[in-house]
Amino acid sequence: MRLTSPALALLAGLLALLALAAPAGASRFQESTFQDDDLLVYGEPARVAETLDTLKALGVDRLRVSVFWKIVAPAFAEDTKPAGFDGGDPGAYPQGAWERYDRLAHEATARGLELNLNLTGPAPDWATGTPDRADLDETYEPSAAEFAAFTRAAGTRYSGTYSGPDGRTLPRIDYWSIWNEPNQAGWLTPQWVPDPRGKGMVEAAPRIYRELADEALLALRATGHGDDTILIGETAPKGLRVRGVARSMAPGRFIRRLFCLDDRGRTLKGTSAEVQGCPVSGAPADITAAHPSLLGASGWAHHPYELVAAPSRKPRTSGWYTIANLSDLQRLLRRSHARLGRNRAVPLYLTEFGYQTNPPDPLGVSQGKQAAYLAESEFRTYADPRVRTHSQFLLVDDEPLPGYPTTTTGAWGTTFQSGLRTLEGRAKPAFQAYQVPVFLPARSVRRGGRLRVWGLARAAAGRPLVEVLVRERGARRTRVARRVRGSGAGYVDTRIRVRRSGTVRLRWRHPDGRRRTSQAVPFTVRGR
């Protein structure tokens, strides 16, 4: 837009705000994050390139990528670390160990896609403790010192000054998260241990994770990433009510103990602090000095899965946090920070999310509901200015587990069918819904009233012109009810007048020149 004076610029800005009709406090920008490690980390080069092209066309901003400690470490199955191995030197790792991540960094950067490197287990056996159960070996008491070395290697390699084996300087990565779901026993154990005071079981995972996060944060700072986005948490949404070495912990309990707080939000003192690895004084200054990650991280990462329930249905268990009760999580985080001396809203990064579908999982929601629930979930986070990123987990469904009929739940028990495409590559309705989500906060309006329509032209560059299409009952054709300029992030939040019940869709022209249209959402017009 060409402007001839500051006054015209101001007027244009005001008109734009009015046209968007966004509610106070709504996000002006929220990153679209995407994750599919099977395709991007384990895929062959051609498949990686194809996937990146698809995600770029969908409008993805950032890729969350698991940097699995075990698959880059030498002698990962041995109990003893190789003699002379310096885990902090990226050049000391086996030849080709980092190749998949180097390739992905180059290919993503070439397409303008940003990365979030999630440094996580499983750990090599030589960097873990010795559990009573062999199946816990790669998650049991990972060494914070060895994890710090691994983090230094990653931070150095992706500092923007390090050359890969082909002589090219590797891209700088400026966005990191530490471990994956530390309150989930599949990723970190022990979750609980016998209380040395003889009082049953006491939480262990928060202490272990606090040590990992502290050391990783310091390692990233030491390798030139101190001003980067560095996230802690990456918490799973739920836990178990029973206690045990491999019994996952509710995120609410995990967060309180991580911040050295008791169940009432007071700082732990004495032996209660000691068993949690916290300063026995309970003084906030002592806690933050000993554990820099607690207030030093950029924000909290969380996975607000519900998987099968509507985004509006809050969990019934205290301390569980799904897409429906993020305000409860935010309140806990703010209070935890305030107790340690920093009273501020904590930015929330939703780095993993999705809905399980049936087919193929008999316990999932229908594919149509998946599409609708994803759009509603994104609207909910758009309406929350503290949420910085919203994520979709999986482009393509996981394969079933071997040994089970695919018509049974056993085939899908520990895998995800939350993809936008089926395992065979067929697009689900959610694929279209991800490209152009549309949501009606209220599907019923009185005659003469105005219907609020929210949506997103995800791949927009600049402020796209979006058409709001209405097909009213009995009408022979669809009409353009309104043309509205989206925000700089592609959001549309507007109101239209409707005469009779019908459906509404959004349509806009993608940078590739083709039109993209949302799914149709029904609405009802009531009498006065």
Burial grade of 186 (CB within 10 A; 0-12, 13-18, 19 or more): middle
Buried/exposed 440-463: b ≥16 CB within 10 Å, e otherwise: beeeebeeeeebbbbbbbbbbeeb
pLDDT in tens, the chain (528 residues): 333 333 333 333 333 333 334 455 566 679 999 999 999 999 999 999 999 999 999 999 999 999 999 999 999 999 999 999 999 999 999 999 999 999 999 999 999 999 999 999 999 999 999 999 999 999 999 999 999 999 999 999 999 999 999 999 999 999 999 999 999 999 999 999 999 999 899 999 999 999 999 999 999 999 999 999 999 999 999 999 999 999 999 999 999 999 999 999 999 999 999 999 999 999 999 999 999 999 999 999 999 999 899 999 999 999 999 999 999 999 999 999 999 999 989 999 999 999 999 999 999 999 999 999 999 999 999 999 999 999 999 999 999 999 999 888 899 988 999 999 999 999 999 999 999 999 999 999 998 899 999 999 999 988 999 999 999 999 989 999 999 999 989 999 999 999 999 999 999 999 999 999 999 999 999 986
Place of tokens 């990191």: 176
- Return the closest-CA partner of residue 447 out of 467, 468, 472: 472
Q: What are phi and psi of 352, to 5 degrees?
A: -155, 130
pLDDT of 458? 96
User: Which amino acid is it at 341?
Assistant: G
What are the angstrom distances between the C-alpha of 381 and each of 97, 181, 325, 376?
37, 21, 11, 9
C-alpha to C-alpha distance for 112 and 66, rounded to whole angstroms: 19
pLDDT of 407? 87
What's the gap between Cα 147 and its chain centre?
22
Q: How crowded is residue 45: how many other Cβ atoms within 10 Å of its Cβ?
A: 12
Opening angle at CA 185, ends 184 and 188, nearest 5? 90
pLDDT of 313? 96
Which stretches within 398-473 are classed as H helix? 429-435
Tokens for 252, please give them. 């609410």
Q: What is the 3-class SS of 236-305, one letter each residue?
A: CCCCCCCCCCCCCCCHHHHHHHHCCECCCCCECCHHHHHCCCCCCCCCHHHHHHHCCHHHHCCEEEECCC
Tokens for 420, please give them. 């936008």
Dihedral sign of CA atoms 185, 294, 275, 251 in order: negative
pLDDT of 12? 37
Tokens for 112, please give them. 């303008």
Asked whether 113 and 60 are in contact (CB, 8 A), the reply is yes
Q: Is the peptide bond before 511 cis (omega within 30 degrees of 0)?
A: no
Place of tokens 């670390």: 81
105 φψ region: left (φ > 0), alpha (ψ -120 to 50), beta (else): alpha
Q: Is the peptide bond before 385 cis (omega within 30 degrees of 0)?
A: no
